[in-house]
Amino acid sequence: MTQRLVPPPTTGSHTLRAGPSRLADVAAYAAAPLWALQSVIWLAAPKVQEQSAPFRITNAVMFVLVWSSIAGAVALSAAAAARMPHMVNAPPSRATRGATVLATSSLTMATIGTICVLLAPLPQVQEVAVAAMTNMLNGAAVLLAASLVVSAVICSGLESASFATKARATSLAAGTIAVIVAIVASGTHSVIGLYFGVCVATLNGVAWFTWARHSSTARGRQDPA
């Protein structure tokens, strides 16, 4: 007797695909206030390190809080960025894989950077941990920006993507690049650089919130009732 092949149910596979997308939305929502928090830190947070090498920690508790917020913002943004090509329904390509790899690499470096933040207050490893933390978080921010730029380019070339989606993807890429510029400018200790950083951090937080809301709303329309 000939057996008839029965296709597997689609609901389960949709749930498997939707799971990471929901986590990406949560990550984007969580990243938003952490980016906005950087504006407060730039304005009001006390100095947590010496201003010259080897940048010894002067306030261990505030050091961990400040740098954990920075590492968290980058890590959560990278987790959300890794799903951006999927969210805009981009067809598989080298560009989409590249965007995902860049975001995943950023997440890995930010995670290592977070571990270094927690180890840095220990006097035995402080100098090494601070140096590693700085390198990891700087690298993670650059990779995050690169991933968002690639995703924005992918999105801009999709006829199926709405103008709102393209605009939000572009704002995330531009905002992240602007944050990196603001971090570099903060080294000059100028008032203009300070207020530029405050504005950029706030706007980047708004950009991530609007992306998270847009993404979750779009996913909600696609989920089965």
The DSSP secondary structure of 179-205, one letter per residue, reads HHHHHHHHTTT-HHHHHHHHHHHHHHH
- Neighbouring residues of 54: CB distance < 8 A, sequence distance ≥ 6: 127, 130
> What's the predicted TM-score (pTM) here?
0.85
Tens-binned pLDDT, residue by residue, of the chain (225 aa): 444 443 444 444 343 345 667 888 899 999 999 999 998 888 887 788 777 777 788 888 999 999 999 999 999 999 999 999 888 888 899 999 999 999 999 999 999 999 999 999 999 999 999 999 999 999 999 999 999 999 999 999 888 888 988 999 999 999 999 999 988 877 666 778 788 888 999 999 999 999 999 888 876 665 544
Instruction: Give the tokens for residue 149.
Output: 């730029």
d(CA 121, CA 140): 22
pLDDT of residue 189: 66
pLDDT score recorded for residue 104: 97
Tokens coding 161: 């993507």
pLDDT of residue 20: 67
Place of tokens 């992918």: 154
The neighbour count for residue 1, using CB atoms within 10 Å, is 3
Q: Are 119 and 129 in contact (CB under 8 A)?
A: yes
